[in-house]
């Protein structure tokens, strides 16, 4: 395997791409009991439109199909993959995001056997009308549960304002109505397209020998037949346009406190090149400088009762879309929205952006980055998410150190655009509790 040594974080990454295209990434952590493995595909909730293998025309799948497929892969004709992992003492799980689906296990023994179980269950789909229909009940419950979570509702509401004509605004789970349309044929078709090894990465972090991992995986893959890899044609297009955004929306729900989310739509594509990652770092430092715990501006808002501990902010950059979200539980939603807009209007001319604060925030970010390496799952998830990119988690420290105050100011000029701002408010309904 290729060996990459990152001396600043005292980690070594081993990588190899198999003949069928599957990427294998391994980090050995001999002090740990656990090994954490993640098999991920570059396929998520936004990928509902694509050209199937061997076809020439686009198909449009129901919303929620990637998540549905994730649930359904565990169940086979005569067993459930959960039980196979469980029989070795391992824990298994899976998750779907807007752009990725990942299957994982955590084991403290029999890593090689669990790797085989993981590869086999993900690569060997089994869907029938009966099992697909049963799953509709389980996922229906999951959808209902999220409907009862007002924090989630406000976040999804914000996405709806930002991306009314882009699938980023559709809940990962889909809706009761959309999942009702899902058939075994659709699932097989999506699996054949997006679960080809060349669209997947296996990331293994923990107490494991990299060569031994590779041998098991290579032998397993050599036993299986896959059609030749063909380029994936996706229907989802970048959405960086402010024209069709909804400016503001308020709904009523049975909540105790009003909730607000303010969004800023990114209008330039941010990819996962070194330049793109550096921009993301600069954008997050910018938000921290303005809205973080040590910000004089945040202190002023906090003292005035405009925000409290529930206030949070994020910058999310995904394939085809990127945006800033700010918000929390508030007493006066409109006052907070106005205050945030006033900050955005200042673009890079922010009193909080001094060289001294910037240096300190960067120092803190570096420390937090090093500290995050305690978590095997954190390392594996980050490596896996960037497995198709030119940089990885272990480059982050170096990229962070190169970011300057000027980069942060440039990020402010690019992101802080009043035309790209929208807000979503949830107000308490009468009689709610």
Partner 1 sequence: MRIELTQGVGLTVVPTKKFKTTRIAIHFLTPLAQADVAARTLLTSVLETSSADYPTQAALSAYLESLFGASFGIGVGKEGHWHRVTAGLTLLNDQFAQENLLQQGVAFLAGVLNRPLLHAGQFDADVFTREQHNLHQYLQSLAEDRQTQANLGLQAVYFDDDPLQATPSFGTPKQLLAVTLNSLLHAYQQMLAQDRIEIVVLGDVAVSDVEKQMQALKFAPRVIASVALPVSGDARPERTKVETAPVNQAKLNLGYRANFALYSPAHYAAIVANELFGGSALSLLFTNVREKASLAYYASSSLDAMRHLVMVQTGIDAQAAPKVTQLIADQLAAVQAGAFSADKLQVIKDGLVANRQTAYDSPRFLARQALLQALLAAQPRELAQYVAGVQAVTKAQVMAQAATFNLEAQYLLTKQPKES
Q: Which residues contact 9 (CB under 8 A, 6 or more apart)?
A: 370, 373, 394, 397
Tell me the window of 59-67, 145-153, 276-284, 384-392 that interacts with partner 1 (CB under 8 A). 145-153
Instruction: List the beta bridge partners of residue 257.
Output: none
Site for partner 1 in 301-340 (CB under 8 A): 302-303, 305, 308-310, 329, 331
Burial of 296 (0-12, 13-18, 19+ CB in 10 A): exposed
Interior CA angle at 148 toward 322 and 43, to 5°? 35
Tell me which residue has tokens 């999310």.
Answer: 316
Q: Tell which one of 83, 211, 269, 419 touches partner 1 (CB under 8 A).
A: 83
Closest CA to 25 of 190, 281, 181, 210: 210
- 260: part of which helix (H) or strand (E)? strand 259-265
CB of 254 to partner 1, least distance (A): 4
Cβ-based burial of 425 (10 A; exposed 0-12, middle 13-18, buried ≥19): buried
User: Is 211 among the catalytic positions?
Assistant: no
Tell me, what DSSP letter sits at residue 419? G
Residue 17 as a binder of partner 1 (CB under 8 A): the answer is no
Stretch touching partner 1 by CB under 8 A, among 178-186, 195-203, 296-304, 382-390 = 296-304
**Both structure tokens of 418:** 């009043």
Q: Is 79 in the site for partner 1 (CB under 8 A)?
A: no
Angle at 111 between CA 117 and CA 123, to 5 degrees: 25
Q: Of the listed 2, 11, 70, 413, which one is catalytic?
A: 70
Nearer to partner 1 by Cβ, of 238 and 296: the residue is 296
Is residue 149 a contact residue for partner 1 (CB under 8 A)? yes
CB of 150 to partner 1, least distance (A): 5
Of 144, 247, 390, 404, the one binding partner 1 by CB under 8 A: 144
Stretch that binds partner 1, among 96-104, 188-196, 238-246, 253-261 (CB under 8 A): 253-261
- Six token digits for residue 168: 């980023």
Q: Which of residues 106, 123, 189, 423 is near partner 1 by CB under 8 A? A: 106
Number of residues that bind partner 1 (CB under 8 A): 67
Q: How far does the chain reach from its first CA to its final CA, in angstroms?
A: 58
- Fill in the per-residue mask, 165 to 194: x = in contact with partner 1 (CB under 8 A), - = not in contact: ------------------------------
Q: How many residues does the chain have?
A: 433
State the residues that interact with partner 1 by CB under 8 A. Answer: 31-34, 80, 82-83, 86-92, 106-109, 134-135, 137-138, 141-142, 144-145, 147-151, 254-257, 292-296, 298-299, 302-303, 305, 308-310, 329, 331, 357, 360-361, 363-368, 370-371, 373-374, 376, 429, 432-433
């Amino acid at each position: 395997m290729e060996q990459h040594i990152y001396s600043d974080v005292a980690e070594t990454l081993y990588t190899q791409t198999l003949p069928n295209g599957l990427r294998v990434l391994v980090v050995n952590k001999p002090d740990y009991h656990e090994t954490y493995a993640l098999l991920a595909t570059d396929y998520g909730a936004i990928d509902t439109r694509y050209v199937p293998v061997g076809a020439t025309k686009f198909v449009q799948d129901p919303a929620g199909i990637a998540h549905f497929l994730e649930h359904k892969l565990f169940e086979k004709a005569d067993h459930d993959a959960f039980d196979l992992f469980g029989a070795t003492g391992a824990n298994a799980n899976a998750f779907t995001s807007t752009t990725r689906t990942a299957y994982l296990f955590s084991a403290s023994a029999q890593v090689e056997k669990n790797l085989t179980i993981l590869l086999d269950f993900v690569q060997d789909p089994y869907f029938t009308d009966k099992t697909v229909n049963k799953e509709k009940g389980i996922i229906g419950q999951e959808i209902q549960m999220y409907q009862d979570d007002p924090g989630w509702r406000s976040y999804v509401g914000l996405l709806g304002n930002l991306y009314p004509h882009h699938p980023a605004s559709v809940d990962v789970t889909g809706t009761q109505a959309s999942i009702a349309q899902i058939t075994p044929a659709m699932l097989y078709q999506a699996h054949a397209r997006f679960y080809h090894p060349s669209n997947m990465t296996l990331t293994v972090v923990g107490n494991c020998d990299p060569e031994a991992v590779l041998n098991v995986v290579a032998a397993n893959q050599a036993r299986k037949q896959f059609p030749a890899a063909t380029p994936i044609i996706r229907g989802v297009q970048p959405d960086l346009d402010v024209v069709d955004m909804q400016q503001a929306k308020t709904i009523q729900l049975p909540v105790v406190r009003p909730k607000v989310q303010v969004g800023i739509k990114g209008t330039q594509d941010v990819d996962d090149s070194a330049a793109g990652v550096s921009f993301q770092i600069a954008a997050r430092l910018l938000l921290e400088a303005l809205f973080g715990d040590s910000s004089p501006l945040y202190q002023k808002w906090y003292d005035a009762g405009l925000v409290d501990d529930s206030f949070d902010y994020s910058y999310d950059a995904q394939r085809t879309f990127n945006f800033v979200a700010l918000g929390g539980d508030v007493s006066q939603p409109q006052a907070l929205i106005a205050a945030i807009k006033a900050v955005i209007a200042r673009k890079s001319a922010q009193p909080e952006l001094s060289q001294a604060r910037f240096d300190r925030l960067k120092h803190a970010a570096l420390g937090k980055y090093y500290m995050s390496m305690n978590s095997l799952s954190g390392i594996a998830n980050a490596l896996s998410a960037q497995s198709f990119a030119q940089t990885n988690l272990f480059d982050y420290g170096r990229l962070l150190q190169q970011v300057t105050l000027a980069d942060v100011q440039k990020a402010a000029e690019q992101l802080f655009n009043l035309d790209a701002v929208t807000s979503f408010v949830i107000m308490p309904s009468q009689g709610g509790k």
